[in-house]
Each structure stands twice: as C-alpha cells, then as structure tokens.
Structure 1
Amino acid sequence: MDLQAIADDIVRDLSSRLGEGKVADYIPELAKVDPKQLGIAITTVDGKTYRAGDAETAFSVQSISKVFMLTLALGKVGETIWRRVGREPSGSAFNSIVQLEHEHGIPRNPFINAGAIVVTDIVLAGHRPREAIGEFLRFMHFVANDESLYIDEPVARSEQRTGYRNFALANFMRGFDNLEHPVDHVLGVYFHQCALAMNCVQLSHAGLFLANRGTNPLTGFFRCLAAAGATDQRDHADLRPL
C-alpha cells in the first residue's frame, strides 16, 4: 500500500472543496482559523511518516488533548480513576450537563467535557495550576519527541473568557464533591491543555505509543503509560532503550 500516494490523492481530490466547511466559532480565537487548510500525516508503527497538504501547520488540538491528559491521570492514580468518571457512551452532546444530575456528578466518560475536567482535576493534585500545565507540556514533548510544542496563549485566554458551559459543568460537579480543587484552577489547566498547538506530523508521532502497545518506535523508549507521570525518560527506570 502506497500511503504517500493515498495521502496526496486525498488532498488533491478535496482541494476544490476547501473553504466549504465552517470553522469552530464557539471560541472566538478559533473563528480566525483559515478554513482552507487541510493537512494529513500518517506515521506507521515502524516509524515511517507520510505527509500531504498543510501537515506542518500548527493548530489548536482542543479535545484531542483529552487522550493525553487521561494517560497522565492513569499514570498517577491507575484504575481508581474510574471511581470518578465512567467508561460508557454518553448519548448526549460533548458539553451537556443533563446526565450529571441523574448520575450524581459522575461523568459518563473521560472524553466528554465533564469527564475531561475531572481528569484534569486528578492531574492537578499536588500541583499549582502552572505546574500542572508544565507537566502536561513536558509529557507532550516526550511522547511527540519534539520540544517545539507550545500552548497557544491567545486561544487559552479566549476559552477562559467564553467557557461558560465548562464553568457550569465544573461548578455542578464541585457541588457533588467530584472536583477536589477550585473550579478556576481546574479550568485554567483544562483551557490551556486544549490550547496545545501541534501540527499533523507531531500529532501522528505523539500517538505512536498508543498504537504500538506503549512503545514509541521513533525513540526506542517504552511503557509510556506506566511512566506517564515522569515526563522525562531519565526519571523512570521503566523507560529503557529497546
């Protein structure tokens, strides 16, 4: 299978339709994104990367960050995380508050906003917000094997100013004692993690350890999940070269 040809064909076939879609505007800063951008990156488990279009243009990863923050939380507390967030489909919108009242402040899963906020609260334990953001960013540098990743501060501030539903969700869960830290601290970290800027190539590299049973073939280090809290291969004995 010629993955490079497939990626090139997709970009070519869709080029005439670029701009037809509508960018997210519920966060004002995201409304400024060029709607005619399209990038594709594919990295296989043997470490080969194929790219096409705007694959090296950075963008705010938003909810993709939830996967990596969950990895950090699992590295910190293990299976006990499921006492505070479920593992079931929600059947409701990603930012819905409806089920929380019926289920006593326990979100259905870690990938809807309410669940991701609880996961962020878990990672925040023992840290000030700025330290937790730093830990998350160092972890992303590690899994992507790229220290150029950064937090897009204008996007984070835009989310902070307009994230009314997330404030509602967080306060509601705080009322059920399912948040252990002040709401503004938790959401400060949450908004910053969502504002992580990466390009398609970097993102395809960051997900390799999930696709390859915990091993990143680009770096030769493994057991990233177990060592998620370390954020530096030198800090954990399990991170050994293959």
Structure 2
Amino acid sequence: MTGTAAVGELEQALDDIACEMATRTDRGNVATYIPQLGRINAGAFGIAVATHDGQVLTAGDAELTFSIQSISKVFTLTLALGSIGDQLWRRVGREPSGNPFNSIIQLEHENGIPRNPFINAGAIVLADVLLGGHEPREAIGEILRFVQFLTDDDTITIDAAVAASERATGFRNFALANYMKSFGNLHHAPEHSLGVYFHHCAIAMNCRQLALAGRFLANGGTNPATGFSVISAERARRIAALMLTCGHYDGSGDFAFRVGIPGKSGVGGGILGVVPGIASMAVWSPGLNENGNSKLGSIALEMLAKRMNWSIFAP
C-alpha cells in the first residue's frame, strides 16, 4: 500500500468498522472457563493494521492490552521450526483438526501425534520442543523476548494472573500432555511443557503491538522496519498456509471462506491476520462464537478484506 489516498481509504475503513462494531448487540460470549478471561469487558473492540511500507493505523480500543492466548502459537511455531526445522513434522501434523481445540479423541486415534501445531495438543508439543533441555523459565523468556524483538517493544509482558488461572483450571490440557507423554511425544515432564504453554498463552499485548508482531509473516519473513530476515520466505509462506487452514480450529474453513486471509485466533478475543505483501492486522473483541473465535473480530476482518479487496483469493 502506497500513497496518501490508499492510506486515507484504509483509515476511513477502520473508523467505519469500529463505529459499526460499537452498534452491535450480539457480541458473543467471553471465555469463562479461564476465570481471568471471564472478567473482561465484552464491550471492547479494537483494530490495527501495519502496512508493508511502515504505516500503522488503528481504531477503537487498539491500545488496550489483552491476553493473546493461542495467537502466541504462531510465534512458538516460528521458534520451534528455527530450533529443529522440519523434524518438527514428525511430532506434529499439518492438517485441519475438524474438532474442538482441546479435543483428546483425535490423539487416541493418531497415536499421540497432534493434528496441527495450533490446537492445544500441538502447541504443547511446540512448548516441549522449545524447552530443549532448558528450564521452563528460560524457554518462557525466549518466547517473550522474541515477541518483544518483533515489535521493538520491551514493555510487552506476561500476565501472571492469567497464567495462574490457566494452570488452576487447565485439567484438559494436563490430560492432553500426559496422554502425549504416554506415546513418547513429550520429551520433558508434562508439567514443565505445560508451564511454558500456559505462560506464553498469557502474553498480554494490544492490537497495535500484535499487528507489528505479524509484519514478518506479511513480508516474506523479513521485518520491514529493520530490513532483517526473521525467517526464510518459504517458511513464512508455510506458516501463513497453516494459519489459513488451521488458525481458527474447527471454524477455519468458514473463516477462509468469509475472510480469505491467513489468520490465527485466540480465546482472549484476538485475531492476527496477514495479507502477504500488503499488511498484517490485529483485531480484538472478547466475545467468542461457537467455535471459540472472536465473533465481532471475524466480522470486522471480513468487512475489511472486502472493502480493501485483500482476500488472497481476489483477482
């Protein structure tokens, strides 16, 4: 995107979408199964877009921080691939799950190999990879520093209260981890892998920061602010492909159908989206739909993609 006209069009689109979302009364339901998330104001809405030429545009509550939850799996996948490369795919699949994000049934049928890295079981394996013989605190620090590096913002932190809330109520995740351990697909103590998992899900960011963190995926693996390569262009394409096919759990097909861009959601109500070669974007609205994805966030990104003709399937 270049030129003041294009920037003006995008700015107007974001303002219009934020105004439209403010009028919506059916906003979905917040994720009460994690007590800390259940306390969030369901009326919030924020959106931000970081373009490939350095523009960052926002609307609504784009400066309010929220728990990015499963969006963090995009960053742990990037780090895990950097650590062990394509060996990762021996332990995690690359196919849509078609089941809820915390389902244990699929693991039984597939001998402890999670269907993809974005469901909970797959992300727990990523956390296990990042432990790599280190203490959990060291692995958690590596993930947080990576996100801070991507955004050039060391104010980003982990919400300790959310992490503690997840640990206290994460019985299904404990079951997933122990089940995978029984198949030999966790190489560390389940409680250590889970400690890393719970903490990276509790990273707190706002829409502007999250949009900035996704720039490297929209720019062929390169951070446009520095010109330095974060990952190879091929790896960036592959991560974006997984976001498109698996980034919204069992709602991924509908998101691809309606919005048409790679995206990753989180039960904190955030969504990170990327339009290759054009922009990365983040939207936040805490109320979730039946698939556990932000209800208004999904609608807002559909509106934005249509208005800007950003679907990757557009002519």
> Does the aligned pair in 2 maintain the 1:60–1:152 contact within 8 Å?
yes
- Equivalent residue, structure 1, for 2:236: none
Structure 2 equivalent of residue 16 of structure 1: 23
Aligned to 1:94: 101
- Structure 1 residue aligned with 2:226: 219
Alignment of 1:1-242 (within 5 A): 1=6, 2-17=9-24, 20-222=27-229, 224-225=230-231
- Three-state SS of the structure 2 residue aligned to 1:28 is coil
Stretches of 4+ aligned residues off by more than 3 angstroms: none
Contact kept? 1:74, 1:81, Cα under 8 Å: yes
Q: Percent of counterpart pairs with the same letter?
A: 60
8 Å contact from structure 2 (residues 67, 202) kept in 1: yes
Three-state SS of the structure 2 residue aligned to 1:217 is: coil
> Partners in 2 of 1:84 and 1:115 — Cα distance?
8
Unaligned runs of 5+ in 1: 227-242
CA shift, 1:22, in A, is 1.5
Q: Deviations over 1:185-240 (max 9, x none)?
A: 01011000000000000000000001101111122322x126xxxxxxxxxxxxxx
Q: Give the direction of change, closer, same or farther, for the CA distance of 1:135–1:199 in structure 2 (3 Å limit).
A: same
Cα deviation code 1:4-43 (max 9, x no counterpart): 1000000111212267432111100000111111000011
Summarize deviations over 1:99-127 as a string: whole Å, max 9, x none.
11111100110001000100110011121
TM-score by length of 2: 0.70
Across the aligned residues of Structure 1 and Structure 2, the Cα RMSD in angstroms comes to 1.3
Q: Within 1, Cα distance between the matches of 2:209 and 2:66?
A: 11
Letter in 2 for 1:199: N
Instruction: Tell me, yes or no, if the aligned pair for 1:18 and 1:35 is still in contact at 8 Å.
Output: no
* Alpha-carbon distance, 1:141 to partner: 0.6
Unaligned runs of 5+ in 2: 1-5, 233-315
Q: What is the identity, as a one-letter code, of the residue corresponding to 1:188?
A: G
Q: Which residue of 1 aligns with 2:276?
A: none
Deviation at residue 160 of structure 1 after TM alignment: 0.4
Letter in 2 for 1:119: L
For residues 154-181 of structure 1, the C-alpha deviation after alignment (integer angstroms, 9 at most, x for no partner) is 0000000000000000000000000000
Partner Cα separation in structure 1 for residue 228 and residue 153 of structure 2: 14
Instruction: Give the Cα separation in 2 of the matches to 1:80 and 1:42.
Output: 34
Determine if contact 1:74/1:225 at 8 Å carries over to the other structure.
Answer: no
The alpha-carbon deviation at position 86 of structure 1 amounts to 0.4
Structure 1 window deviating more from structure 2 (53-62 vs 9-18): it is 9-18
In 2: Cα distance, 1:4 partner to 1:219 partner: 24
